Structure 1
Amino acid sequence: MSPAYIFGGLLLGATAGVLSGIIGIGGGILLIPALAYMYGMSQLKAQGTSLAILLLPVGFFAVLPYYRDGQVDIKVAALVAIGFAVGGWFGGTWAQHLPAIVLRRGFAALLVIVAAKLFFTK
């Protein structure tokens, strides 16, 4: 694994963790598109890897069929999960100091941006 590969996974995890802590999202809405674009994964592999990232807190049984079919990248999942945990702690801490309107509008803006990207990308 190259340093860029490792750093990219940790940075993605930290970003998803911060967003999760601040506005309550980060899993599928951020990780799946990011895994597809940053790591060139198919939709299915990005979904399986996203589930593996969230495996301990959420999806042990959901990830098993993806894993059995070879649709999980364990290395990327582990790297992103580490960054996600650290970023989630920071994001959750920062969110306690932000006004509710900022959190709500930030969440809405992110949803619009992600929706537009998904809608207009072939």
Structure 2
Amino acid sequence: MTLSTILILVIIGLCAGILSGLVGVGGGVIMVPLFVLLLGLTQHNAQGMSLAVMLPPVTFLAVYNYHKAGEVNWKLALIASAVFIVGGFLGSKLALKIDQLLLKKIFGVFMLIIAIKLIFFSK
């Protein structure tokens, strides 16, 4: 692994971490595109890497700050977390069966739709 690769990983990790704590995004929205664009990973590799980064409790300190401010509904979070585990398993099985070029397009269209909704249709 080269020094430039390590530097890119540090920048991606820092950006994803800051944005995760700031606006609640990081994995799919930041890391996946940057892994593809800056490191040349395939869509499948980038998605796997993003999930691997989140495997340890990387958001613990950010969640702790929100918890201290009274901004975490733990009952809702635990229900969503349990279902997220199942959804993540099923989604990964499906994603690995889809051609990476099509998967990249699906990902891009999804991000575009969300961006348009947030920019033009938020209250």
Q: What TM-score comes out, normalization by structure 1 length?
A: 0.53
Q: Does 1:99 align with 2:74?
A: no
Is the Cα–Cα contact under 8 Å of residues 66 and 72 in structure 1 kept in the other structure?
yes
Q: Aligned pair count?
A: 74
Point out 4+ residue stretches in structure 1 off by more than 2 angstroms. Answer: 25-29, 54-58
Mapped to 2, the partners of 1:92 and 1:26 lie a distance apart of 18
Superposition pairs of residues 40-119 of structure 1, within 5 angstroms: 57-119=57-119
Deviation at 1:96, TM superposition (A): 1.2
Q: Where in structure 2 are there 5+ consecutive unaligned residues?
A: 1-24, 30-53
Mapped to 1, the partners of 2:69 and 2:107 lie a distance apart of 34
Alignment root-mean-square deviation, CA: 2.7
Deviation at 1:94, TM superposition (A): 1.2
Query: Residues 71-119 of structure 1, C-alpha deviation per residue, up to 9 Å, x if partnerless?
Result: 1110110010011100101111111111011110010001100100110
Is the Cα–Cα contact under 8 Å of residues 55 and 63 in structure 1 kept in the other structure?
no
Q: What TM-score comes out, normalization by structure 2 length?
A: 0.53
Helix, strand or coil for the counterpart of 1:63?
A: helix
Considering Cα pairs closer than 8 Å and 6+ residues apart, tell me whether 1 or 2 has the greater RCO.
1
Q: Where in structure 1 are there 5+ consecutive unaligned residues?
A: 1-24, 30-53
Mapped to 2, the partners of 1:70 and 1:55 lie a distance apart of 25
Distance change (3 Å), C-alpha of 1:28 and 1:62: farther
Counterpart of 1:63, as a letter, is V
Bigger radius of gyration, 1 or 2?
2
